[in-house]
Amino acid sequence: MPISAEPIRVLVTGAAGQIAYSLLYSIANGDVFGKDQPVVLMLLDIPPMLPVLDGVVMELQDCALPLLKEVIPTDQEEVAFKDLDAAILVGSMPRKDGMERKDLLKANVAIFKSQGAALDKYAKKTVKVLVVGNPANTNCLIAAKSAPSIPKENFSCLTRLDHNRACSQVASRCGVPADKVKNVIIWGNHSSTQYPDVHHCVVNVQGSVKPAFDVVKDDDWLKGSFIATVQQRGAAVIKARKLSSAMSAAKAICDHMRNIWMGTAEGEFISMGVYSSGNTYGVPDDLIYSFPVTIKDKTWKIVDALTINDFSRARMDATAAELVEERDAATSFLSA
């Protein structure tokens, strides 16, 4: 296919890190924004990481990818955020041993306040912003609040990794490929309080589409260890690998951004953390909360009016309460 489109400018922060290393090839190869869409990659990291970033740039050049028009490594926000079409904010302050949660929140508020302001000042007003760095929901909210001239609907945080984990667990249990499982939902926070919900999930078994509960035939597993496995999966990967989940996170980022750019399939919804405002599920306003969404024309819409039973309600409320607490702590730092 001839490549004639204007290049889009895509920023990845924390670009010398593990997740970015797994992510950048897919973006530059057209797996995210389309096989006929040239890209200019903006790579932002902190000054001590610039020598490492130079190595990443060399590797991207050595891939000889036809869609990759330019790679610009930098530690300057005014360079990185200029005229962006998409921003993938991976870099954040990781939790260190002995660090209190409030200290982690405070450090990240400073980062995402600054990056939100840079988006506001330098990026296109149509920029689509995906926050990956944890605590992702609250970091995303801070970035959105710090960029008042960009619509809050342009900001989202990554819960697609949790969504993919949930699909994979159900698929494995049913003995089908992962793409035969549709419409799982991750509600709430990208934390151990998230609620992986399969009450609306369907499984395609040999051409016949059935509710997940009917195929799995093990309600105790679906309401118990399945939920715990998805909630604790990140910690399990770190324990086994001694490093966080980079490959699966990068895949989820690609899935998320591709859906924003290309839309979701008819009759299918995915999970992403989006701005809560007047939703039908009783989730408090002014949070970034993971909902089931459909996407068309680069615009997401929460899937409304799904029936919510008492089991689900309690878990949705618990993760919302954690997000309210996080938001209130973070916004107190914001005004400090």
**Active-site residue set:** 190
Q: Residue 205: phi, psi to the nearest 5?
A: -110, 110
Exposed e or buried b per residue across 288-313, where buried means at least 16 C-beta atoms within 10 angstroms of its C-beta? bbbbbbbbeeeebebbeebebeeebe
Question: Is 165 annotated among the ligand-binding residues?
Answer: yes
Most distant pair of Cα atoms in the chain: their distance: 58
Is residue 327 marked as binding?
Answer: no
Binding residue per annotation — 95?
A: yes
Residue 45 annotated as binding site: yes
* 132 annotated among ligand-binding-site residues: yes
Cβ atoms of 287 and 322 closer than 8 Å: no
- Say whether 55 counts as a known binding-site residue: no
Angle of helix 18-28 relative to helix 247-262, nearest 10 degrees, comes to 40
For Cα atoms 253, 332, 192, give the angle at the middle one, nearest 5 degrees: 40
- Alpha carbon of residue 124 to chain centroid: 20
Nearest to 228 by CA among 277, 259, 194, 260: 194
Cα separation, 137 vs 276, in Å, equals 11
* Residue list, annotated binding site for substrate: 95, 101, 134, 165
* Residue list, annotated binding site for NAD(+): 45, 108, 132-134
